[in-house]
Amino acid sequence: MIDFGIGQPQLDQLPSDLLLKGANRLFVSPDNAYLNYGPGQGDPNLREALAGFLGPHYGFEVDPQTLFMTGGASQALHLIAATFAQAGDTVLVEDPTYFLAPQIFRDLGLKVVGVPIADMGLEPETLERAIQEHRPKLLYTIPIHQNPTGVTLPQERRETMIDICREHGVLVVADEVYQMLTYRGTPPPPLARQIASETVFSVSSFSKILAPGLRLGWIQASQKLLARLLRLGLLASGGGLNPLVGSLVHKLLISGDQDRYLSELKEIYDRKIDLMDRLLQDHLGKMVEYVKPVGGYFFWLKLNGALDADELEKVAATEAVGFRPGSKFSMSGRHRDFLRLSFAHYDESAITEGVVRLGKAVELLRSKIL
Amino acid sequence: MIDFGIGQPQLDQLPSDLLLKGANRLFVSPDNAYLNYGPGQGDPNLREALAGFLGPHYGFEVDPQTLFMTGGASQALHLIAATFAQAGDTVLVEDPTYFLAPQIFRDLGLKVVGVPIADMGLEPETLERAIQEHRPKLLYTIPIHQNPTGVTLPQERRETMIDICREHGVLVVADEVYQMLTYRGTPPPPLARQIASETVFSVSSFSKILAPGLRLGWIQASQKLLARLLRLGLLASGGGLNPLVGSLVHKLLISGDQDRYLSELKEIYDRKIDLMDRLLQDHLGKMVEYVKPVGGYFFWLKLNGALDADELEKVAATEAVGFRPGSKFSMSGRHRDFLRLSFAHYDESAITEGVVRLGKAVELLRSKIL
């Protein structure tokens, strides 16, 4: 089974060698404070190194005081929602959105409402109407290389979005884990640029640029917003959310290993996109439509001929190929004629074989229907 | 300043050497799945090794299926409370209790009510009355080497406590992080023994037996109770709560390093207790009363002569010695004549100097008052 539904890095590309190097520096250091309860916000040295790493990628200077280390982006979403919303409150999410985010919000008793997005992402009028109708506390958005659509919100829309949210007292939770995974062109700066608005949390992670198993991420926000998170009893009791892993990653940041690894990753993913694009043209051709991605992890394919992706999933399983049908990403059962393919998890030969199988599956479904 | 208030391990005893050894095994392994999103419950190999480690210490066989790996005990408390109670619900805690736990519950909008404990811990009648009055969802208890009092709940009371809680539909969250830190005698088995009652979560951690910075702990509970935790969106999205650190600790469990390190720790702490006891007799003598601890991290001293520990804290600061005054552990401002001293954080010479200073401070306060 080749499952393009898996939105995870390729196992044999994960950097155990770099971690080995880091560990052999860290665990011999005479300063072993990382083994004890750490500061709630995360080790100052780590935050300084992270700020130094982010600056050139983001295109502006990052203040270490605005960074708060977490156990991954998912924990960041959980803690922000638990702190800034209460059971019964509403969170707006994009429709379609990252399919595993809504459950994090629902677990906290929050209502999740989808706001349809268009070719350029969230539209100001649609957003404002949704805010007026649902009076949400939070807006969860993926402003760059959106999961699943690949859409990036243009600069002017970002500013309008912040203005609208600030005006209505809605906090923006921006999932920017794909910001540094831009393979072509220059993306708009992350919403982390706008934290002075007191309206934005930028959530990001080492999961996609180093390894998911690290469970290390961060929130970037104004010190005023961070202050509420830093008062959490969880931090007072447990110390920082992942100090040992943070200190390990610190070694990779200051050695330049993280930067070099990210450059390699970007080349690899860029090649995989070219390959998958060519294969999709060859084997699915006019049966699908899509915009070739320039970043992130995903192709978002529209099936032509009113085919249903949930139906296609069943046929594809018989051809030993998988994907995530569009309906999975929707709050409203929309996008049934879409599918999301990840190019990240497989090597070039598996991608090739998988797309061939997918082509067969689509033809099989078409022949059944026609 | 020698601060006996710090309830943390001694920095230069923390096992960087063992982690170095573990890292040099882990990061060369061809199986690098620990670098990817892990199973929500934690790696099955880790859970099996942990079960094998716990069995002999607990005195009964532990089923790996009843273990759920977390990012420390504090995260465990947070997730259990977030999942099994809702804003507005009540949590009973012991009075006095671990002073950083109540905030974890309050952050979730829960009401925290203290139940006074006596020399043998929670008393059945007092507990039942509190349950009838406050209708709590959860009871948070530290049944062994209690923080701060050092009290261990006797076996027969444990059974009565579970019976009462089950009858009233109250879930017991047992903080058993000190269970394996018993230096003299045989303690009752942990409440983890009673998970078949479907009424108990046993929370524990590697923080006190290996290193706090690992942020690795576990919940032991019936599979039925665990199932609700395993449905958390946080797990579906982020994978296991700390897979890389879990795999690192796995190496220390299977090599026997964890077991050997725990034996060393117990000898060290036992010696520190003897030392502190002797010093307290010599330098504070009849000015205080206490039961010499047989486990855990703390001495719980009652000041004779109606002295106030909050007042003593100010005087002690001028002598460059610190502790946690009893009022800090109380929901009701009780225990003002108690102080908690940790013997874990300092070496023998600092303990000696600290107790000498403390003796001076108590005498100073007495001379002021008399």
Q: What is the mean pLDDT of residues A53-59?
A: 98
Q: Which residues of B touch A103 (CB under 8 A)?
A: 232-233, 236-237
DSSP conformation letters of A8-19 = S--GGGS-HHHH
B184 touches chain A (CB under 8 A): no
DSSP A337-367: TEEEEESSSS-HHHHHHHHHHHHHHHHHHHH
Q: Which of B91, B105, B232, B242 to mutate to test the interface with A (most CBs of A within 10 A)?
A: B242
pLDDT score of A270? 98
| Contact call for A19 and B23, based on CB within 8 A | yes
Contact B238 A75 (CB under 8 A): yes
Dihedral, CA of residue A323, residue A327, residue A328 and residue A333, to nearest 10: -170
- Residue B212: predicted pLDDT: 96
In a mutational test of the B interface, the residue from A204, A237, A297 whose CB has the highest number of chain B CBs within 10 Å is A237
Which whole number is the average pLDDT over A49-61?
Answer: 98
- For B2-42, the pLDDT digits (tens) are 999 999 999 989 999 999 999 999 999 999 999 999 999 99
Examine the pLDDT at A193 and tell me if it is beyond 80. Answer: yes
| Whole-number pLDDT of residue A260 | 98
- CA B325, B185, B117, B105 torsion-angle sign: positive
Q: Is A238 an 8 Å CB contact of chain B?
A: yes
Name every chain B residue with its beta carbon within 8 A of the beta carbon of A33: 11, 213
Judged by CB atoms closer than 8 Å, whether chains meet at B35 and A212 is answered as yes
pLDDT value, residue B331: 87
Q: How long a stretch of residues is chain A?
A: 370
Q: Is A228 on the interface with B (CB under 8 A)?
A: no
Greatest Cα pair distance in chain B: 71
B213 and A74: CB-CB below 8 Å? no
Q: Quick check: B38 contacting A, CB < 8 Å? A: yes
How close B89 gets to chain A, by Cα (Å)?
12
Do B293 and B281 touch, CB atoms closer than 8 A? Answer: no
Q: Two tokens at A126?
A: 């649609």
The CA distance from A91 to A171, in Å, is: 10
Tell whether the model's pLDDT for residue B347 goes beyond 80: yes
Mutant choice from B14, B18, B36 vs A, greatest count of A C-beta within 10 A: B36
* B-chain residue closest to A72, CA distance: B238
- pLDDT band at A14; cut points 50, 70, 90: very high
For A80-103, write each residue's pLDDT tens digit: 999 999 999 999 999 999 999 999
- CB interface of B with A, residues 196-215, below 8 Å: 207, 211-215
Among A348-352, B35-39, B203-207, whose mean pLDDT is lowest? B35-39
Residues 328-357 of A with CB under 8 A from B: none
Closest residue in B to A76 (Cα–Cα) = B234
**Average pLDDT estimate for B127-154:** 98
Per the CB < 8 A criterion, the answer to whether B346 and B5 are in contact is no
CA distance to partner chain B, nearest, from residue A56 (Å):
26
Q: How far apart are CA B91 and CA A293, in angstroms?
A: 50
Q: pTM, whole model, 2 decimals?
A: 0.96
Residue A90's alpha-carbon distances to A111, A114, A122, A158, A165, in angstroms, are 5, 10, 18, 21, 14
Determine, for residues A74 and B109 on separate chains, whether the beta-carbon distance falls below 8 Å: no
Close Cβ partners of A79 (under 8 Å, ≥ 6 residues apart)? A70, A219, A229, A232, A234
pLDDT for B158 equals 97
Mean pLDDT of A236-255: 96
Cβ contacts of A225 within 8 Å, gap of 6 or more:
A171, A195, A198, A201
CA distances, A100 to each of A85, A296, B319 (Å):
19, 17, 55
Task: Give the pair of three-digit tokens for residue A252.
Answer: 């990779």
Query: Is the CB of A238 less than 8 angstroms away from the CB of B71?
Result: yes
Question: What is the residue type of B217?
Answer: G
* C-alpha span between A337 and A366 (Å, rounded): 13
CB nearest B35 (choices: A14, A77, A109): A14
Closest residue in chain B to residue A105, using alpha carbons only: B233
pLDDT bin (cut points 50, 70, 90) of residue A331 is confident
Q: Nearest CA to CA, how far is B367 from chain A (Å)? A: 36
Widest pairwise Cα distance in chain A: 71
Confidence of residue B274 (pLDDT cuts 50, 70, 90): very high
* Chain B residues whose beta carbon lies within 8 Å of the beta carbon of residue A9: 36
Alpha-carbon distance of B355 to B359, in angstroms, equals 6
Instruction: Using a CB–CB cutoff of 8 Å, tell me whether A144 touches chain B.
Output: no
Gap from A81 CA to chain B (nearest CA, Å): 11
| pLDDT confidence band for A333 (50 / 70 / 90) | confident
Q: What is the side-by-side strand order in the sheet with A200-205?
A: A67-70, A217-220, A200-205, A171-175, A138-141, A90-95, A111-116
Nearest residue of B to residue A12 by CA position? B32
Report chain B residues whose CB lies below 8 A from the CB of A77: 237
| Cβ neighbour number for residue A167 with a 10 Å cutoff | 11
CB spacing of A104 vs B16 below 8 angstroms: no
Q: How far is CA A148 from the centre of its chain?
A: 10
For the cut 90, the answer to whether the pLDDT of residue A332 exceeds it is no
User: Which of A9-13, A21-25, B67-71, B86-90 is predicted least confidently?
Assistant: A9-13
Q: Which of B16, B33, B233 sits opposite A104 (nearest CB)?
A: B233
A300 to chain B nearest CA, in Å? 20
Counting residues of chain B whose pLDDT is more than 70, the rounded percentage is: 100
pLDDT-derived band at B183 (thresholds 50, 70, 90) equals: very high
Interface of B with A in 85-104 (CB under 8 A): 86-87, 98, 100-104
Look at B74 and A238 and tell me if their CB atoms are within 8 Å. yes
Residue B55 has a pLDDT of 98
Q: Is A370 within 8 Å of chain B by CB?
A: no
Between the alpha carbon of residue B91 and those of residues B103, B114, B132, B143, the distances in Å are: 11, 9, 13, 16
The token duo for B27 is 């990061």
Which pLDDT score, from 0 to 100, does residue B120 have? 93
Whether A109 has its CB under 8 Å from any CB of chain B: the answer is: yes
Query: Phi then psi for B301, rounded to 5 degrees?
Result: -100, 130
Q: Which two tokens stand for residue B340?
A: 């908690």
Give the type of residue at B12. D
Answer whether residue A190 shows pLDDT above 90: yes
Q: How far apart are CA B5 and CA B341, in angstroms?
A: 6
Q: What is the pLDDT of residues A149-188, one digit of tens each?
A: 999 999 999 999 999 999 999 999 999 999 999 999 999 9
Confidence of residue B216 (pLDDT cuts 50, 70, 90): very high
pLDDT at B332: 86
Q: Are A174 and A143 in contact (CB under 8 A)?
A: yes
* Chain A residues within 8 A of B35 when measuring between CB atoms: 11, 14-16, 19, 211-214
Distance from CA of A195 to the nearest CA of B (A): 24
The answer to whether the CB atoms of A82 and B82 lie below 8 A apart is: yes
Residue A52's CB: how many other CB atoms inside 10 A? 14
Residue B261 C-alpha, separation from nearest chain A C-alpha, in angstroms: 15
For A271-288, write each residue's pLDDT tens digit.
999 999 999 999 999 999
Per-residue b/e over A203-232, b at no fewer than 16 CB within 10 Å?
bbbbbbbbbbbbbbbbbbbbeebbeebeeb
Q: Please check whether residue A281 touches B, CB under 8 A.
A: no
Contacts of A23 in chain B (CB under 8 A): 19-20, 23-24, 27
Q: Which residues of B touch A82 (CB under 8 A)?
A: 82, 107-108
Q: How far is B28 from chain A (nearest CA, A)?
A: 7
One-letter amino acid of B2: I
Can you tell me the distance from the alpha carbon of B58 to that of B51, in angstroms, rounded to the nearest whole number? Answer: 10
> With an 8 Å Cβ cutoff, is B6 touching chain A?
no
Residues of B in contact with A105 (CB under 8 A): 233
Residue B367 sits at the chain A interface (C-beta within 8 Å): no
If you write DSSP's letter for every residue of A195-246 in order, what string do you get? GGGS-EEEEEESTTTT-GGG--EEEE--HHHHHHHHT-HHHHHH-SSSHHHH
Tens of pLDDT, residues B56-73 = 999 999 999 999 999 999
The pLDDT-based confidence of A227 (bands split at 50, 70, 90) is: very high
